[in-house]
């Protein structure tokens, strides 16, 4: 069925980066058919079976939130004031020991609900709680039911000499390498046939101290088998870099390159402590960086060298991360990314609003290998888009749309969300999830979970 979105300002992010004030976008089923001015597409609009009036709205590609941990939404605020290793020891590991599959699914439902309401149409969930088949499949089911597009990057945790030296508790290592491969393969096979291909699964060794060389090579082999990404935390904290230098005699990206796992489907998540040689390697091998500015600031991890990455042609995506950001609002992530690098370099022009908006859309699409499917509004691409109401006191007058979106807009300005040609939110009402039921369940389950894990309200063990 043809649907025409009319009387709307289009921020296309197409190769010409067109902004079309009196715009029209026509899509049939899950694909965009035409993008242009209303006058030039009037004939096609006349034959559309459904019309959406976007008067006063701005349409743009939905955001790609390229890294989060959805179950951590049940633990908001419990990691404040801690660094990365402190958060892992005091919150993540205790929760991993006791969290149940139904709680994993509930955390995913809350995160997906928030993602939709804040304009995200594609979410990478780096699942790292109970990573068993039932729990991970439950997350995928939430994505499928909600209408959201997503990748479940199933976290692998294997015992290594460094993990033992850092006293990572044994319960963290749920599965052998063979079992990690078997579970991930089964999920990949299942979900590539479901939900019109919207939900995918990939291997994600969580860190280099939780995955040895053989583990990383096995993840690469599995990813190659299915042309899937590999999603790994790399150089998030200085302590991780120092440990890799001690254990392998080189820095993290060099280690990955030596193992033969660094390629155009590899996601370097965080990349805070990368040096110039590592950036050159990334540019050479085509790896992607997932920048999590708010999380890196919250955990006092440092500032990733994003301007240097972009100067080398390295693709950079944006993400909220989990507890480190407290929420999954990509507007706050975009604004933080823009301002962080300005103050860090003392250069107000170092990262423009237009560049940040591209990182939040096309950057994530490229990381997923989906730049020909999503990330911009162009004929032939998927109909994944959002409508923003920018006629607000905190936004008018508007002279530059990318600046208004990145520096001024917020999640409450998102009116409509369309994924795969389906309207999953309209007038800020999510159609695919029961918001009241999810909220009530979370408010009951959250405190019970942190008590069972032995946490205090400040996120430390009792």
Round to whole Å and give the CA distance between 419 and 374: 10
pLDDT tens for the chain, 462 residues: list them: 699 999 999 999 999 999 999 999 999 999 999 999 999 999 999 889 999 999 999 999 999 999 999 999 998 888 788 888 888 898 889 998 999 999 999 999 999 999 999 999 999 999 998 999 999 999 999 999 999 999 999 999 999 999 999 999 999 999 999 999 999 999 999 999 999 999 999 999 999 999 999 999 999 999 999 999 999 999 999 999 999 999 999 999 999 999 999 999 999 999 999 999 999 999 999 999 999 999 999 999 999 999 999 999 999 999 999 876 778 999 999 999 999 999 999 999 999 999 999 999 999 999 999 999 999 999 999 999 999 999 999 999 999 999 999 999 999 999 999 999 999 999 999 999 999 999 999 999 988 898 898 886 554 444
Note whether 361 and 63 are within 8 A (CB).
yes
Q: Cα(first)–Cα(last) distance of the chain, in Å?
A: 58
Look at residue 326 in the predicted model and tell me its pLDDT: 77
- For the chain, what is the radius of gyration of the CA atoms? 21
Say how many C-beta atoms besides its own lie within 10 A of residue 276's C-beta: 10
Place of tokens 């902004």: 19
Which residue intervals of 271-380 are DSSP H helices?
276-285, 293-298, 306-311, 330-345, 353-358, 364-367
Q: Can the peptide bond before residue 226 be classed as cis, meaning omega within 30 degrees of 0?
A: no
Look at residue 1 in the predicted model and tell me its pLDDT: 65
396 vs 58, 353, 448, CA distance in Å?
13, 17, 44
- State the pairing for strand pair 429-430/422-426: antiparallel
What kind and span of H or E run contains 50?
Answer: strand 50-53
Q: Which residues of 362-397 are buried (b: 16+ CB within 10 A; e: fewer)?
A: bbbbbbbebbebbbbbbeebbbbbbbbbbeeeebee
Place of tokens 């997906």: 112
Note whether 405 and 119 are within 8 A (CB).
no
Look at residue 459 in the predicted model and tell me its pLDDT: 46
Q: What domains, with CATH codes, occur in the chain? A: 2-61+381-428 (2.30.40.10), 63-367 (3.20.20.140)
Instruction: List the structure tokens of 169.
Output: 């508790």
237 vs 218, 274, 394, CA distance in Å?
25, 10, 36
Say how many C-beta atoms besides its own lie within 10 A of residue 409's C-beta: 24
Burial class (CB in 10 A: 0-12, 13-18, 19+), 56: middle
């Amino acid at each position: 069925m043809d649907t025409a979105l009319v009387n709307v300002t289009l921020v296309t992010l197409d190769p010409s980066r067109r902004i079309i004030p009196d715009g029209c976008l026509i899509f049939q089923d899950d694909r965009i058919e035409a993008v242009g001015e209303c006058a030039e597409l009037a004939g096609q609009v006349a034959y559309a079976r459904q019309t959406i009036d976007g008067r006063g709205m701005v349409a743009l590609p939905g955001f790609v939130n390229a890294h989060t941990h959805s179950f951590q939404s049940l633990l908001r605020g419990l990691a404040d004031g801690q660094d990365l290793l402190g958060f892992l020891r005091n919150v993540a590991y205790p929760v991993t020991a006791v969290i149940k599959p139904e709680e994993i699914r509930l955390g995913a439902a809350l995160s997906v609900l928030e993602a939709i309401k804040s304009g995200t149409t594609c979410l990478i969930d780096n699942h790292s709680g109970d990573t068993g088949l039932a729990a991970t499949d439950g997350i995928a089911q939430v994505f499928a039911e909600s209408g959201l597009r997503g990748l479940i990057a199933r976290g692998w945790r294997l015992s290594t000499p460094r993990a033992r030296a850092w006293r990572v508790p044994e319960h963290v290592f749920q599965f052998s390498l063979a079992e990690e491969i078997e579970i991930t393969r089964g999920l990949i096979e299942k979900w590539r046939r479901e939900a019109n291909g919207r939900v995918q699964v990939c291997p994600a060794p969580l860190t280099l101290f939780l995955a040895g060389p053989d583990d990383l090579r096995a993840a690469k082999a599995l990813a190659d088998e299915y042309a899937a990404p590999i999603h790994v935390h790399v150089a998030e904290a200085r302590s991780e870099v120092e440990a890799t230098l001690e254990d392998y005699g080189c820095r993290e990206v060099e280690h990955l390159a030596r193992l033969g796992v660094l390629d155009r489907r590899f996601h370097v998540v965080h990349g805070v402590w990368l040096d110039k040689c590592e950036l050159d390697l990334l540019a050479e091998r085509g790896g992607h960086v997932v920048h999590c500015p708010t999380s890196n600031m919250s955990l006092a991890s440092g500032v990733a060298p994003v301007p240097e990455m972009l100067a080398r042609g390295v693709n950079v995506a944006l993400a909220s991360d989990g507890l480190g950001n407290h929420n999954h609002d990509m507007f706050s992530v975009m604004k933080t990314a823009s301002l962080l690098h300005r103050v860090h370099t003392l250069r107000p022009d170092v990262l423009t609003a237009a560049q940040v908006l591209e990182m939040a859309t096309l950057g994530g699409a490229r990381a997923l290998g989906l730049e020909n499917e999503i990330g911009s509004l162009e004929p032939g691409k998927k109909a994944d888009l959002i409508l923003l109401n920018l006629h607000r006191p905190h936004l008018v007058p508007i002279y530059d749309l990318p600046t208004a979106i990145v520096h001024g807009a917020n999640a409450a300005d998102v009116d409509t969300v369309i994924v795969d040609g389906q309207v999953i939110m309209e007038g800020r009402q999510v159609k695919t999830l029961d918001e009241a039921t999810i909220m009530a369940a979370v408010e009951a389950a959250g405190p019970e979970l942190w008590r069972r894990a032995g946490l205090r309200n400040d996120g430390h063990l009792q």
